[in-house]
Amino acid sequence: MIFDFLEAFNDQMLLLILIVLGVAFSAGGIPPIIERNRRRSIENQLPGLLEALSDAVGAGRGIQEAMLEQGRNTPGVLGKLLTETLESSHSSSFDAALSAFASKTRSSQVQRVTVLIETAIEQDAPLQGILSDLSMDYERLNDLMNKRESELQGRGILIIIFVCIGLPVLIAFIVGLFAPANKGYQIGDFNQTFALFFAASSAIASLVSGRMLGRMKDFLWWLPFWMAVSMGLYLGAVKMIGG
């Protein structure tokens, strides 16, 4: 069935290439989504952890002890990573453990916080106040990032759905109904032009959508997929309706 479907587009070399690339690149596009979800879950937990650390340090605990305790009490990836790193750091220094923890999270927020904590410890700065300030800073930053995500995600999806799916199907209906190929209309060149246009407009729509959400590079993986979808939908619908 798949081969029959592909056979129908034998004269559309670009579409066939885009289908193959789209499938391959989509596989590459999934890991960034998983990684981002993981990173954001860590970053959203960070202010809570910092606040708890600030309280513990204020109550007279050492930072290492407080971190180990909070790591055990914090659910999710952040707590797990923190506990694992600190427990496996018996043979190395606390600084090395902190750096290992920061690099394992792969989050720039955690890495910055870790560097600041290390510097504060080195300089013998008041940790309670610094941790409390950092907690509030990162809470506000995460609130902003979450707000941007929630407000713009719907609009981004709307653009992709309309331009990559809605528009090709709509034009295919117009062409298929008013100039069906099975009634002798010569629309080969017309279809070719519009198929290319839909591929290009889908690429633009998907890039704009990605840029709105601040992750255009991740969206690049899905570019061939959306291009293939819009071209395929247009050519498939024209064939289905107009014969």
Partner 1 sequence: MRKLEEKREILYVIRTMDVLMSSGVGLEAAIHTIGTGGYGIISKDFSTVMEKLRSGKSKGLEKEIKVLMSKSESEGYRRLLNTMYNNLTQNTDLIETLRKQGKRMEEDRNEDVNKYIEDLSGVPETLLSIGMIGPIILAIIGLIPQLMSGDLGAFMKLPPASTIQSVVNVGLIATLFGMIMIGLKAHTKDPGL
162 binds partner 1 (CB under 8 A): yes
CB of 182 to partner 1, least distance (A): 13
Name the phi and psi angles at 115, rounded to 5: -60, -45
Binding to partner 1 (CB under 8 A) within 201-240 occurs at 201, 204-205, 207-208, 211-212, 214
CB of 22 to partner 1, least distance (A): 20
CB of 171 to partner 1, least distance (A): 5
Element (H, E) at 38: helix 13-58
Q: Specify the residue, 83 or 230, whose C-beta has the smaller distance to partner 1.
A: 230
What are the CA-CA distances from residue 35 to residues 47, 104, 157, 161, 215 (Å)? 20, 12, 20, 24, 13
Element (H, E) at 60: none
Contact pick of 92, 125, 153, 182 for partner 1 (by CB under 8 A): 125
Terminal Cα-to-Cα distance of the chain (whole angstroms): 18
**Token pair of 28, please?**
């590459």
Question: Residue 151 CB: number of other CB atoms within 10 A?
Answer: 10
The site for partner 1 (CB under 8 A) is made up of 111-112, 115-116, 119-120, 123-126, 130, 133-134, 137, 140-141, 144-145, 147-148, 151-152, 155, 158-159, 162-163, 166-167, 170-171, 174-175, 178-179, 185-187, 189-190, 193-194, 197, 200-201, 204-205, 207-208, 211-212, 214
